[in-house]
Amino acid sequence: MAGAAIEFEGVSKWFGNHQVLTDIDLAIVPGEVVVVCGPSGSGKSTLIRCVNGLEPFQRGDLVVLGDSLASAGVRMPALRTRVGMVFQSFNLFPHMTVLENITLAPVRVRGLSATEAEKTARTLLERVRIPDKAGNYPANLSGGQQQRVAIARALAMQPKIMLFDEPTSALDPEMINEVLDVMTDLAKEGMTMMVVTHEMGFARRVAHRVVFMDAGRVVEEAKPEAFFAAPKSDRAKDFLSKILSH
Amino acid sequence: MSYQFKWSVLWSGQSGGWLLQGVATTLAISGLAWILAVGLGILAGAARTVPWRPLRLAGTFYVEFFRNVPLLVWMFFWYFGVPPLLPRGVQDWLFNHSAEFWAGMFALGVYHGARMSEVIRSGINSIPRTQFEASVAMGLTTFQAYRLIIVPIALRLIVPPATNESLNLLKNSSVALTISVAELTFQTRQVETYTAKAIEALTAGTLIYLVLCVSIAWIMARVERRFAIPGLIARGG
Ligand SMILES: Nc1ncnc2c1ncn2[C@@H]1O[C@H](COP(=O)(O)OP(=O)(O)OP(=O)(O)O)[C@@H](O)[C@H]1O
Ligand SMILES: [Mg+2]
């Protein structure tokens, strides 16, 4: 598809002889927010980790912002500056303050001056609504605050795409919304987002499309209203009944 | 029992001077070897954890090779084995400039580097893999991720076992007396030979090693607290 930000073309991946992705075809246009859901072990994490090259794949091609990841010679560090990622376990660097976490890559990779980077970082901390935590160490923040710093840290590189792998799964329930709110803002600003999540409320409100995976395949993709009102496959029905019942 | 203690032999005559020189040499050879060992330990320890096989193999080869040959053999190797391979002029220069000191320093540093790298590797392995992934996901190269994130965190985690290994290095510096480095044990024996007062000389040597080791342990404990990662509780008082 011309103009896609991310395009999977028949991507297959194996861990040893265990196939975890099978013939994935999926195109995501700039500004689109796609929620990926499916049962545990269905390959959701593997799918989005392919987009920034954390997982290599063996067959097919994946074109990200015009770069084909299957072709030899694609420079991963350069690509990754344009694709931000937020992990389930936050992964802030524990020996650095919040400010140092956010300014590290802009200074070391983009070559910004410390002053410029700090200015951007402070703006981002306002955006994720924790302007007063710049000097704190990660250990002194709540989970929700840490995850918002992780989002700010990824945004500091001014990425064109943001990947989220279960960003709220490790959070206490009362902190989930503060993170989802930041993600909602981001979506409204037009960020291209791929979000693995079981937060179906978020999917309903924010996603443009829901992708349902099972056993390494994309089983269903639809607009959220359609997906939640009438999932086509039995596996999706089964999955939704389990996830919405609690 | 007819042994007559005579502690004054330790400060009369040349004994005191010899012991002081011994301490200075022990500190010099151990200090330089320690720097070498930590440097090699970081390089080899990190190499063994990177996602690139040739580098991992090189690291493994270094560690297994140097760790599994006795230190004494390395001392002989660097002192008797290596100089003949060097050009004549370099050999002459070396033997006029304490060749035994440099040979001993290299043997000690390279041997303990192999052991230190195991400590550093276990530190790196205790860091969740996702820290590395988060680093490269921001666009850092593998080298930058190690230099800025992985190694700095690992070093903070391994201070206690690294202290242990540092004390072993200090104590093992006494092996250098076999290639005539005039370090503390060498000088202790010299005092013993000249004064025929073995117990006094050896007691002095023992106490000096004890003081050195306790001081190092104390300094390292302070370093550990100074650089502790917030949220991880540093051990020790
Ligand atoms: N490093 C690995 N080595 C071997 N197998 C792996 C590895 N990572 C994942 N797998 C396997 O690949 C399959 C897909 O895993 P993946 O983590 O992508 O699933 P997921 O949909 O994200 O699951 P979850 O909801 O539990 O996070 C699973 O069968 C898993 O066991
Ligand atoms: Mg997952």
Residue closest to B78 by CA, chosen among B39, B104, B112: B104
Q: Do A157 and B231 touch (CB under 8 A)?
A: no
A204 vs B234, residue with greater confidence: A204
- What angle do helix axes B159-172 and B15-47 make, rounded to 10 degrees? 130
* Rounded Cα–Cα distance for residues B59 and B64 (Å): 9
Does A46 contact ligand 1 (Cβ within 6 A)?
yes
**C-alpha distances in Å from residue B79, one per residue of B35, B105, B177:** 20, 10, 12
Does A44 contact ligand 1 (Cβ within 6 A)?
yes
- What angle do helix axes B15-47 and B184-195 make, rounded to 10 degrees? 160
Question: Which domains, and CATH codes, for chain B?
Answer: 7-227 (1.10.3720.10)
Q: Which residues of B touch A (CB under 8 A)?
A: 128, 130-131, 133-141, 144, 148-149, 152-153, 156, 229-232
* Rounded Cα–Cα distance for residues A117 and A165 (Å): 26
Percentage of chain B with pLDDT > 70? 97
Q: pLDDT band at B236, cuts 50/70/90?
A: very low
Exposed / middle / buried, residue B95 (Cβ in 10 Å: 0-12, 13-18, 19+): exposed
Residue pLDDT, tens place only, B76-127: 999 999 999 999 999 899 888 899 999 999 999 999 999 999 999 999 999 9
Can you tell me which atom of ligand 1 is nearest the CA of A38?
Answer: 21
DSSP B207-236: HHHHHHHHHHHHHHHHHHHHTPPTTSPPP-
* Residue of A76, A77, A95 lying closest to B229 (CB–CB): A95
Residue closest via CA to ligand 1's atom 9 equals A46
Single pTM value for the model: 0.92
Does A120 contact ligand 1 (Cβ within 6 A)?
no
What letter represents residue B138's amino acid?
Answer: M
Cβ within 8 Å of residue B220, ≥6 positions away: B159, B162, B163, B166
Cβ within 8 Å of residue A234, ≥6 positions away: none
* Rounded Cα–Cα distance for residues A63 and A48 (Å): 13
Residue of A nearest to B139 (CA): A77
- How much is the ipTM here? 0.94
Residue A63: φ, ψ to 5°: -105, 120
Does A133 contact ligand 1 (Cβ within 6 A)?
no
How far away is chain B from the Cα of A233, in angstroms, using its nearest Cα? 34
Q: Do A157 and B148 touch (CB under 8 A)?
A: no
A80 touches chain B (CB under 8 A): yes
Q: Do B134 and A87 touch (CB under 8 A)?
A: yes
Does A42 contact ligand 1 (Cβ within 6 A)?
yes
Does A36 contact ligand 1 (Cβ within 6 A)?
no
Residue pLDDT, tens place only, B26-60: 999 999 999 999 999 999 999 999 999 999 999 99
Give me ligand 2 centre to Cα A127, in Å: 27
Q: What is the pLDDT along chain A (246 residues), one digit of tens a residue?
A: 668 999 999 999 999 999 999 999 999 999 999 999 999 999 999 999 999 999 999 999 999 999 999 988 889 999 999 999 999 999 999 999 999 999 999 999 999 999 999 999 999 999 999 999 999 999 999 999 999 999 999 999 999 999 999 999 999 999 999 999 999 999 999 999 999 999 999 999 999 999 999 999 999 999 999 999 999 999 999 999 988 775
Q: Do A52 and B140 touch (CB under 8 A)?
A: no
CB A196 within 8 A of CB A48: yes
Cβ within 8 Å of residue A61, ≥6 positions away: A9, A10, A11, A68, A69, A70, A71
Q: Which SS3 state, helix, strand or coil, does residue A198 take? A: coil
Q: Which of A13, A17, A18, A196 to mutate to test the pocket of ligand 1 (most atoms within 8 A of CB)?
A: A18
Residue closest via CA to ligand 1's atom 2 equals A15
